[in-house]
């Protein structure tokens, strides 16, 4: 990265910001909050300064990277970056194996509104995670419902990849939809949605109670633990996601959940907790891999998988939908298919419930 945050601030002071705008190094920023976490002055670099600089960089590029352009256009039009029909967002429910209530079909109040998000709704691999979490919620007797086809991307990646207009549009939409139903708590399986709701939606007076599924399930650990019967004879290492971990300091709950699985061995990577290394999906990075590759940059996800494999673990556990596809890709590219598999925590828990 030619212009890391510290240098950007220096250039700003020296009145030389145009050079930064003309270089495309800011496209490398994956909004991982590492700089924000380190800043001794607590400046919100990730949320404010970097998106602003990134916006200027993108506006000056002769051509916007095609994949990113498509993802942003799709988010605006269809509420998901894949460009799938909004009317297919809840299709996964049909094969969930347990009842999943959809608010638009049954608008009675619920204890929990589960905000599923795009990757868990549309990607086959993400849908497996959605089904796992549905099973867990059902087993715990939680009274929950989802927005189904009314749900649209929370918009966080739009915002942190600079697209404020897109973000505002999605935020306004989601606030409207949320106001239609009554629930006590929003639980989300996506740390990026969590990040958006907690820190950005406050601009529109978002004041619903909010939790990521990890702390939520950890609250129910007493009742969950006896259900986890199947012994796990593997070693697992947990990847701290940036939004959940570094930004919101949720470190121990995912580990507590994993350790509740009988027989499991938890090992730590060198860079863990606040020092975690991003999978590279945030800030638009999810759709810039081709761009990076053309420039010869190493993918962060590959770097991280190497570290995971070095721990000797068999399973790389994650708690963010981006990480599943990014790490599984990296595992394939690096040729580690026989050494390591990638699983979401909910998948491991659901698996442990089966006898």
Q: For other proteins, which is the closer residue by CB, 2 or 69?
A: 69
Q: For other proteins, which is the closer residue by CB, 76 or 243?
A: 76
In whole angstroms, the minimum distance from the beta carbon of 130 to other proteins comes to 16
User: Which among 2-10, 22-30, 165-173, 253-261 is the span making contact with other proteins, rule CB under 8 A?
Assistant: 165-173
Structure tokens at 40: 């001794």
Q: For other proteins, which is the closer residue by CB, 15 or 335?
A: 335
Q: Which of 26, 110, 166, 346 touches other proteins by CB under 8 A?
A: 166
Residue 29 contacts by C-beta under 8 Å, 6 or more apart in sequence?
1, 50, 54, 283
Q: For other proteins, which is the closer residue by CB, 169 or 311?
A: 169
Q: Draw the binding track, 79-118, toward other proteins (x: CB under 8 A; -: no contact).
A: ----xxx-x-------------------------------
| Site residue total, other proteins (CB under 8 A) | 28
In whole angstroms, the minimum distance from the beta carbon of 85 to other proteins comes to 5
Q: For other proteins, which is the closer residue by CB, 63 or 222?
A: 63
In DSSP terms, which residues pair with 110 in a beta bridge?
A: 183
Binding flag, residue 164, other proteins (CB under 8 A): yes
Binding flag, residue 355, other proteins (CB under 8 A): no
Binding flag, residue 289, other proteins (CB under 8 A): yes
Radius of gyration in angstroms for the set of CA atoms belonging to the chain, rounded to a whole number: 20
Q: Which of 23, 56, 168, 311 touches other proteins by CB under 8 A?
A: 168
Q: For other proteins, which is the closer residue by CB, 90 or 142?
A: 90
> Which residues in 224-283 contact other proteins (CB under 8 A)?
none
Q: Which of 15, 40, 42, 124 touches other proteins by CB under 8 A?
A: 124
Q: For other proteins, which is the closer residue by CB, 6 or 87?
A: 87
Q: For other proteins, which is the closer residue by CB, 69 or 275?
A: 69
Binding flag, residue 295, other proteins (CB under 8 A): no
> Which residues in 50-79 contact other proteins (CB under 8 A)?
55, 59, 63-64, 66-67, 69, 72-73, 76-78
Count of CB atoms situated within 10 Å of the CB of 108: 10
- Binding residues for other proteins, rule: CB under 8 A, are 55, 59, 63-64, 66-67, 69, 72-73, 76-78, 83-85, 87, 124, 163-166, 168-169, 289-290, 293-294, 332
């Amino acid at each position: 990265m030619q212009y890391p945050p510290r240098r950007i601030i220096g250039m700003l002071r020296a009145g030389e910001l145009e050079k930064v705008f003309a270089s495309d190094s800011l496209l490398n920023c994956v909004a991982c909050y590492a700089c924000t976490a380190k800043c001794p002055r607590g400046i919100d670099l990730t949320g404010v300064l970097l998106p602003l600089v990134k916006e200027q960089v993108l506006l000056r590029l002769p051509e916007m990277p095609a994949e990113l352009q498509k993802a942003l256009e799709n988010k605006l039009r269809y509420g998901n970056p894949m460009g799938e029909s909004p009317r297919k967002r809840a299709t996964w429910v049909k094969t969930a194996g347990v009842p999943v209530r959809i608010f638009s079909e049954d608008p009675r109040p619920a204890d929990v509104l589960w905000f599923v998000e795009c990757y868990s709704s549309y990607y086959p691999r993400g849908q497996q995670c959605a089904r796992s979490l549905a099973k867990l919620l059902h087993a715990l007797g939680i009274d929950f419902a989802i927005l189904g086809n009314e749900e649209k991307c929370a918009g966080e990646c739009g915002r942190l990849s600079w697209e404020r207009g897109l973000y505002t549009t999605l935020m306004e939409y989601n606030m409207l939809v949320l106001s239609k139903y009554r629930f006590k708590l929003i639980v989300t399986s996506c740390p990026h949605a969590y990040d958006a709701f907690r820190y950005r939606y406050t601009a529109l007076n978002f004041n619903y109670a909010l939790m990521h599924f990890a702390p939520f399930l950890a609250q129910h650990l007493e009742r969950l633990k006896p259900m986890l019967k199947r012994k796990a004879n593997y070693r697992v290492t947990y990847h701290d996601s940036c939004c959940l971990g570094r930004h919101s300091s949720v470190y121990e709950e995912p580990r507590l959940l994993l350790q509740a699985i009988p027989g499991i061995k938890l090992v730590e990577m060198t860079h863990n907790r606040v020092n975690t290394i991003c999978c590279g999906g945030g800030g638009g990075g999810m759709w810039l891999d081709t761009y990076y590759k053309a420039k010869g940059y190493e993918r962060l996800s590959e770097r991280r998988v190497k570290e995971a494999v070095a721990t000797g673990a068999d399973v790389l556990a994650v708690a963010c939908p981006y990480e599943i596809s990014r790490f599984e890709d990296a595992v394939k590219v690096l040729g580690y298919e026989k050494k390591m598999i990638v699983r979401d925590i909910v998948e491991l828990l659901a698996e442990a419930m089966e006898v």
